Amino acid sequence: MSPSSSPFDARVDLGRGLVLTNPISVASGTFGFGFEAVQLAGIDHLGAIFSKGTTPLPREGNAPPRIAETAAGMLNSIGLQNPGVEVVARDYAPRWAEWPIPVLVNVAGADVTEYVTVVQRLDGLAGVAGIELNISCPNIAHGLDFATEPGAAARCVAAVRASTDLPLVVKLSPNVTDIAEVARAVEDAGADAISAVNTFLGLKVDLGSRRPVLPGHGSGGLSGPAIKPMALAAVIRVRRAVAIPVIGIGGISTASDALEFFVAGADAVQVGTANFNNPLASREIVAGCLDHAHRWGLRRFSDLRWQDLGPPGAS
Amino acid sequence: MAGTSARVLAGENDLARSVDELAVCTAIRPLQGNLFEISFRAPEIAGRAQPGEFAQIWVDTGPVPLLRRPFSFSRADSGSGAIAFYLAAIGEGSRRLQRFRPGDQARILGPLGQGFTLPERPGRSALVSGGLGAAPFPLLAERLQARGEELVWINGAATRSGLYPDDMVPRGIGEIVLLTEDGSRGQVGRVTAGLLPRLQGLDRVYACGPNQMLAAVAGQVATAAPAPDVEVSIEAPMGCGFGTCLGCAIPLLGRGARDESLLGLCCRQGPVLPGAVIDWERLLQQPAHLG
């Protein structure tokens, strides 16, 4: 039997029994808690949903303006606006339990205790398929600390790991000297998978007022097609550093973009900012990736991996 | 407008009515200065659009500009399947739209957001617009007139070239009051000068324009006894238009026991909101829309 006649298998195993039907998901902060998309474009095509960042208490978020468009990208400084874990656990999780696809809750906190508090509240709830630990939010005080220092990242991940058996994905910041070092630290601390990467620190200036467009320090997180080459470089570095699954994120707006991340060693991908300008983006990307897989006679998306990275599972 | 307030507090609307439609440009009408009206054939959206609601136009599927651009419907005709927008070419998105030619296509997502509340029983309404704020009023005027509403349109701008064109104003509006700040046309002054002598006897005020103007109108209306209902269409920098990017936060007055303001989303709870739910003080402290 030739490879091209073997059935194509789109599934991806993120560990601890969490198997996605396909590797295309949507990134935290670009899809809310899924309820808008359910009305607008549907969710059944997705491998998973990664929720908006959730904290112990409700957060109102940062003062406007919160977003600014840049060349092929956008800056955001939302400041983790969310209703708090109690609302997520009590009101959202039961609705997710009815959905045909898994929802992983993105968890954020100001210190290790806060992360653990949120995760413990979510542990064991129907509708919560896993945790994505956001140790890399650029828009809250101390948000980046956990992601930039491998020791701090490892302590945070280890504490959360000890408090839940849920699949644990850790989302890394690109705003570090050596992302590979942080990736190894969180893998050693018990992460089941790694999301790479969160937004890049950026700033837009308004010449008229001679100040940054965004308030506060003026900087925000850059996302969109502008960051794709940098995200791909980060994913390759993480891929070479760890054996656990890597979820590639950064400027994916078309099926070709997603496929490029598989070449760079990603096991799965998240569609982010493209969800804003095109609510059908993830649906179009899933269809486009499957179409390419059939045309190219793939057995799995990981067949696309650059040979230099070694075979899947042998990193 | 109890219905409106309940709607605002719930923070929900029905995105299921929104469609992403491949629309075809049918006309570009250049107006004074950088103003223009662009029309599309988009039958699905045209059949659903209500006054004050908006659409997100995907100006260019290339990565620049990245985000769609939100515009209120100026016209929507379910019979012909036509929708139209009144714009100024001031940013990357609107400048590209200005270069559209009949036959050009764009994906348009809509209708989105909360529009103006249409009265159950006919009465007397004032439409108060500042500059580009005239955009939603042709459609609103048409729908109000169909319900037998008596209308006065108080139409202001900084200078005469910024006024909504006379020949595009729907017919049958009882009174049209023009004001310019520089006196180049109509009365000299701002829209509040035109509204003040007409407040008595109004059941409703609908306003759209710069936030400063909206605050002044809402404040003025609140002092009338009895005060007419007032709804304003707010603008905020918007990313997605359907509530997921959380970019278009606007300060609303607190609910429940705690007397504090909270941030709502312009795209979901607005863009049209009752004047009384907006924390005007905090809104006006925000820097103007940049970038």
Q: Given A39, A63, A78, which is nearest B246 (Cβ)?
A: A78
Q: How many CB atoms lie within 10 A of CB A109?
A: 28
Assign 3-class secondary structure to chain B. CHHHHHHHHHCCCCHHHCEEEEEEEEEEEECCCCEEEEEEECHHHHCCCCCCCEEEEECCCCCCCCCCEEEECCEEECCCCEEEEEEECCCHHHHHHHCCCCCCEEEEEEEECECCCCCCCCCEEEEEEEHHHHCCHHHHHHHHHHCCCEEEEEEEECCHHHCCCHHHCCCCCCEEEEEECCCCCCEECCHHHHHHHHCCCCCEEEEECCHHHHHHHHHHHHHCCCCCEEEEECCCCCCCCCCCCCCCEEEECCCCCCCCCEEEEHHHHCEEEEHHHECHHHHHHCCCCCC
Closest residue by Cα to residue B46 from B69, B65, B8, B73: B73
Q: Supply the pLDDT for residue A139.
A: 57
DSSP 3-state assignment of A239?
helix
List the single residue in A39, A66, A69 with the smallest CB-CB distance to B14: A39
- pLDDT of res. B61: 82
Report the pLDDT value the prediction gives residue A148, as an integer from 0 to 100: 85
Which residue is closest to A204 within chain B, CA to CA?
Answer: B291
The pLDDT score that the predictor gives to residue A311 is 80
Euclidean distance between CA atoms B177 and A124, whole angstroms: 64
Burial of B247 (0-12, 13-18, 19+ CB in 10 A): buried
Q: Look at residue A149 and tell me whether its pLDDT is greater than 80.
A: yes
Task: Say whether residue B11 is in contact with chain A using an 8 A CB cutoff.
Answer: no
Q: How far apart are CA B254 and CA B233, in angstroms?
A: 19
A45 touches A286 (CB < 8 A):
yes
**Per-residue model confidence as pLDDT tens digits over B6-47:** 333 334 558 999 999 999 999 999 999 999 999 999 999 999
Q: Is A216 helix (H, G, I), strand (E, B) or coil?
A: coil
A61 touches chain B (CB under 8 A): yes
Q: What is the pLDDT of residue B262?
A: 81
Q: Report the topology of domain B115-285.
A: Rossmann fold (3.40.50)
Report yes or no: B248 at the A interface, CB cutoff 8 Å: yes
The pTM (predicted TM-score) of the whole model is 0.94
Residue B254 has a pLDDT of 72
Pick the CATH number of A3-62+79-201+223-309 from 3.20.20.70, 3.30.43.10, 3.40.50.450, 3.40.50.300: 3.20.20.70
Q: What pLDDT is recorded for position B285?
A: 85
DSSP string, A117-155: HHHHHHTT-TT--EEEEE---TTSTTTTHHHHSHHHHHH
Please report the pLDDT score of residue B94 as a whole number: 96
Q: What is the pLDDT of residue A136?
A: 77
- What pLDDT was estimated at residue B9? 35
Tokens of B42: 């988009």
In which residue ranges of chain B is pLDDT below 50?
Answer: 1-11, 256-258, 290-291
Q: Is the pLDDT at A5 greater than 70, yes or no?
A: no
> Given an 8 Å threshold on Cβ–Cβ distance, is B247 in contact with A78?
yes
The owner of tokens 């509204």 is B195
For the stretch A257-304, pLDDT in tens is 999 999 999 999 999 999 999 999 999 999 999 999 999 999 999 999
pLDDT at B291: 35
Looking at residue B3, its pLDDT comes to 35
Q: What is the pLDDT of residues B113-157, one digit of tens each?
A: 999 999 999 999 999 999 999 999 999 999 999 999 999 999 999
Say whether residue B16 is in contact with chain A using an 8 A CB cutoff: yes
Task: Order the strands of the B19-30 sheet from edge to edge.
Answer: B69-72, B54-58, B105-112, B19-30, B35-41, B82-88, B75-77
Of all residues in chain A, the one with the smallest CA distance to B236 is A65
Put simply, the answer to whether A206 touches B291 (Cβ < 8 Å) is yes
Of residues A148 and B149, more confidently modeled: B149
Q: What are the structural domain ranges in chain A?
A: 3-62+79-201+223-309
pLDDT of residue B62: 84
Report domain extents, chain B: 14-112, 115-285
Residue from A199, A207, A276 whose CB has the most chain B CBs within 10 Å, to mutate: A276
Partner residue opposite B242 with nearest CB, options A40, A52, A72: A40
From B234, B218, B290, B231, select the one nearest B267 (Cα to Cα): B234
- Give the one of B107, B243, B249 whose C-beta lies nearest to A64's C-beta: B249
Residue among B213, B185, B215, B219 nearest B199 (CA): B219
- Is B237 in Cβ contact with A74 (below 8 Å)? no
Mutate to test the interface with B, among A91, A277, A278, A282 (most CBs of B within 10 A): A277
CA distance A226 to A198: 13
Report the relative pairing of strands B19-30 and B35-41 from DSSP bridges.
Answer: antiparallel
Whether residues A279 and B109 touch (CB distance < 8 A) is answered with: yes
The Cα–Cα gap between B272 and B233 comes to 4
Of A78, A137, A252, A264, which is the active-site residue? A137
Per-residue pLDDT reduced to its tens digit, A95-114: 999 999 999 999 999 899 99
pLDDT tens by residue, A122-141: 999 999 999 999 997 665 55
CATH class in words for B14-112:
mainly beta
Task: Provide the pLDDT for residue A145.
Answer: 67
Q: Is A137 a catalytic residue?
A: yes
Q: ipTM value, please give it.
A: 0.94
- Mean pLDDT over each residue of chain A, to the nearest integer: 94
d(CA B259, CA B104): 50
pLDDT, position A313: 63
Are B245 and A224 in contact by the 8 Å Cβ rule? The answer is no
Which structure tokens are listed for A134?
Answer: 């956001």
Which residues, including other chains, have CB under 8 Å from residue B231's CB and lie 6 or more apart?
A: B1, B4, B52, B116, B117, B204, B205, B206, B207, B272, B273, B274, B275
CA B150 to each of CA B66, B77, B118, B153: distance values in angstroms, whole numbers, following the listed order: 42, 21, 13, 10
Between CA A73 and CA B180 the distance in angstroms is 38
Out of A31, A71, A206, name the one closest to residue B64 (CB): A71
Stretch 66-125 of chain B: residues touching chain A, C-beta under 8 Å: 66-68, 92, 107, 109
Establish if A42 touches chain B: CB-CB under 8 angstroms.
Answer: no
Residue A147: what pLDDT? 78
Question: How confident is the model over A26-53, as pLDDT tens digits?
Answer: 999 999 999 999 999 899 999 999 999 9
